[in-house]
Amino acid sequence: MSKIYLANSRLSDAKIGPLLKKFSNKVNVYPPGTCPLTVQLSLLQASRNQTCGKCVPCRDGLRQLEKMLIKVLRGRADMDTLIEMKELAVMIRDSADCAIGYQSAIEVLEGLETFKEDYISHIRRQECTGITGQKIPCVTLCPAHVDIPGYIAHVEEGSYDKAINLIRRDNPLPTACAMICEHPCEERCRRNLIDTSLNIRGVKKYAVDQIAADKVEVPRANPATGKKIAVIGGGPSGMTAAYYLSLMGHKVTVYEAKEWLGGMLMYGIPNYRFPKDRLDEDMNAILSTGNIEVKYGVNVGVDIPVEEVHRSYDAMYVAIGAQAGKKLRLEGIDAKNVFSAVEMLDEIGHDRKPDYTGKTVAVIGGGNVAMDAARSALRCGAADVRIVYRRRQEDMTALDTEIESAVMEGIELMLLQAPKHIEMDEDGNCCALWTQPQMTGPYKNGRPAPVDAVSKEPLRIPCDVILIAVGQDIVSAPFEAFGMPAQRNVFQAGLDTAIANMPGVFVGGDCATGPATAIRAIAAGKVAAHNIDEYLGYHHKLDCGVEAPEARPNNRIPTGRVNIQERPAYLRKHDFEHVECPMTYEEVQQECGRCLRCDVFGCGKLDGAVDR
C-alpha cells in the first residue's frame, strides 16, 4: 500500500484561497455603470476557467460562447450571432455533465433575455444602451448621491463643519444618517480591491459627534418666491423636501400628525439606536432655514381634507410614510397582550414605556423592526425575549449587525417556526404561541421559501406578550379617495416623484416605495424639492459653499477597517441609552486615510461619473 498524506498547505489549492477572496472582492465591487455585457463576459470567462476540461460542451462550448460574446462587444456580430449563441447555450445547458457547464449556459440564456436591448444595441449601433460609463461607487450607490469622498476628506482635514455642509448639499439629515443609515454607499467601495470597504457611516458619525449639525450654519435661503408648498408628513422625506424648498425661497408648511418631527426616526427607531436629542440637531438645522412652518397634531385626511390642502398651496408633497403595523391573520390574534411592534415602539417614542418586568415576550418577524421591538422589550424589563421567524437567519431582512447585537443581548432566535395559532388562558391573555416547524425549500422570487416540515410536531412557545413585526402599512385611503393612484396602498409615482395627471402633486418616501430606508426617503425628498421648483417654473441652484478638498495620494497599504464599537451588551440591554461608542481621532484618521478618492482618481474625472 502506498502512503497517503494530509493536504499540503504549500499546494496551490491551499494557496489559491486568498486569491479567490481577492477575486470575489473584485466581483463584489464591479463599478456601477459597467456595461452588463462585459459583466456577462467576465462571468462567462470565469465559467470557462472553472471547467475541468472533461466534457466537450463545457470545455470547448463555453469558449465558443465567449468568442461570440466578444464579437458582439466588438461590434462585429449580427443578429444571427444571437441565434447561434442561443443554440449553443441550449445545447450546453442540456448536455453538460455538471453545474459548471449547464449553469454557465443558463446564465448566458438568462442574460440574452435580461439584456436583450443591450445585445441588440451592441449589434445595431455598435454601442451600449443609454448612458453608460463607470461612476464613483459610493456617490452613485448613495440614493441621495452625497459627495462622500469630499466630506471624508474634510473630516480628515479636521473641517467637520465643512463636512456637514457638504453632506447637507444632498442630505439635510447628516446626524440621522450618521446613526442609522444602512450605508449602501459602502457596498462596492473600491477599497475592497485592497482590503475592505471604508466605514463611511463611522466617519460621518465622527463629524457630527465633533460638532452638532444645528451648530453649523445652514446656507442662506434665496429671496422669497412667494410660492406656498405643503409637505404632508414631517419625517425624513418630508423634512428633506422642506429644507431644499425653504432654501430655494419657497414658503413651506409641514403637516405633522404627531407632536414632534422625525416620523419613524422619532417614533420607530428606539432611543438606544438613535437618541432623540441628536435627531433634534438635524431638525433644528432644517427649521433654521427660515421658510418652514410646522403644523403639529394635524392629520391630513382626518383633521383636514386632502383636497383642502391641495387647493391651498401651489404644490403638495405627500410623504406620510408607512406607519401602521401589518396585521397577521392568526387564530387567537385578538388575545390580550398581543401588540403590533410598530405601535409598541411608537408608545416608547412617546415616552410611554410598557412594563414587561419578568415577562416572556415573543416577537414574530425577521426585519429591523422585529429586532428593535425585541431589544426594546428587553429594555422594558422582559425576562426572556424570543424572535420567532419562519425562515432561516440568513433570510432575515434585518441588518446582520442588528441581529448580532440582539443575540449578544441574549435574545433567542427561534428559526424556521411558522406561527400557527395563539393560545389563550381563561382570562383571554395570550399564554403561548404555537408554531409549525419549517424546512427551507426551493427558491421563490429569489430566495428559498419555507415549507412545512411534515415530520415535525407543532411547537408550543410559552409567552406572556406577543409583538407582531411582520411589516408596515401605509394609511393611504384618504389620499386614494382624493385621487392619488396606489397599488396595495403604495402610491404610484414616476422617478421624478410627480404623480401623472395630477399637476403639483408629488409623493415620496416609504409611502411611495413601501417600508424602506431613511436614505431612500431623503433622496425622494431631495428629488421632489427640485422637481417642485421646476414645476413652479424655477431653476434654483443651491450652493452649500463648500468644495471637496484636494486629494492626497492613494494609501495602498492594506489596512483593517475600523468598526464602531458598542457598549457591552450586559450593560446596554438594561437602558435606552445610545449603544454606540464614539470613534477616536486616530481611528477616524486611519479610516479617512483609506479613502481612494474615486472622485479624483480613475473614472471620477470623466463626464457622467457623478449622479445628481
Partner 1 sequence: MQITINGRNIEAAEGSTILQTARREGIGIPTLCYLEGVNDIGSCRLCVVELGGTQELVVACNTKVKEGMTILTHSERVMAARRMVLKLLLSEHYGDCFSCEKNGDCELQKYCIEYGVETTEFTGARKEKNFKKKDAHPFLSYDPDRCIECQRCVKTCSHVTGRGAIWLGKTGMFSIIDAPFGEDWKNTLCESCGNCAQACPTGALTVKRRKTYRAWEVEKVRTTCPHCATGCQLDLVVKDGKIVDAVGADGPSNHGLLCVKGRSGSFDFVDSPERIRYPLIKNKETGEFERATWEEALDLTASKFTEIKNQYGGEALAGFACSRSANEDIYMLQKMVRTVFGSNHTDNCARV
Residue whose CB is less far from partner 1, 61 or 321: 61
d(CA 142, CA 385) in angstroms, rounded, equals: 35
CB of 73 to partner 1, least distance (A): 15
Contacts of 40 (CB under 8 A, 6+ apart): 69, 107, 108, 111, 115
Residue whose CB is less far from partner 1, 44 or 523: 44
Scan residues 538-557 and list those touching partner 1 (CB under 8 A). none
Q: How many residues bind partner 1 (CB under 8 A)?
A: 27
CB of 58 to partner 1, least distance (A): 9
In angstroms, how far is the first alpha carbon of the chain from the final one? 70
d(CA 498, CA 322) in angstroms, rounded, equals: 19
Question: Dihedral sign, CA of 4, 7, 11, 13?
Answer: positive
- 387, 286 Cβ separation under 8 angstroms: no
d(CA 380, CA 357) in angstroms, rounded, equals: 7
d(CA 531, CA 546) in angstroms, rounded, equals: 23
Edge-first strand listing for the sheet containing 384-388: 338-340, 465-468, 360-364, 384-388, 412-414
Residue whose CB is less far from partner 1, 48 or 227: 48
CB of 66 to partner 1, least distance (A): 8
d(CA 390, CA 396) in angstroms, rounded, equals: 9
CB of 56 to partner 1, least distance (A): 5
- 112-141 mask for partner 1 (x: CB under 8 A)? ------------------------------
Residue whose CB is less far from partner 1, 63 or 421: 63
| Residue whose C-alpha is closest to residue 244's, from 598, 512, 529, 572 | 529
* Region of residue 87 (left: phi > 0; alpha: psi -120 to 50; beta: else): alpha
C-alpha cell at 395: 433570510
Beta bridge partners of 340: 468
Q: Is 23 in the site for partner 1 (CB under 8 A)?
A: no
Scan residues 43-102 and list those touching partner 1 (CB under 8 A). 48-57, 59-61, 63-64, 66-67, 84, 87-88, 91, 93-97, 102
CB of 13 to partner 1, least distance (A): 12
Residue whose CB is less far from partner 1, 66 or 372: 66
| Helix (DSSP H) and strand (DSSP E) numbers for the chain | 24, 18
Residue whose CB is less far from partner 1, 2 or 9: 2
- 65, 88 Cβ separation under 8 angstroms: yes
Scan residues 382-421 and list those touching partner 1 (CB under 8 A). none
Residue whose CB is less far from partner 1, 50 or 284: 50
C-alpha cell at 290: 427660515
CB of 61 to partner 1, least distance (A): 6
Residue whose CB is less far from partner 1, 96 or 371: 96
Residue whose CB is less far from partner 1, 71 or 552: 71
CB of 440 to partner 1, least distance (A): 24
CB of 542 to partner 1, least distance (A): 55
CB of 109 to partner 1, least distance (A): 12
d(CA 438, CA 496) in angstroms, rounded, equals: 42
| Residue whose C-alpha is closest to residue 231's, from 190, 271, 174, 289 | 289
Contacting residues toward partner 1, per CB under 8 A: 48-57, 59-61, 63-64, 66-67, 84, 87-88, 91, 93-97, 102
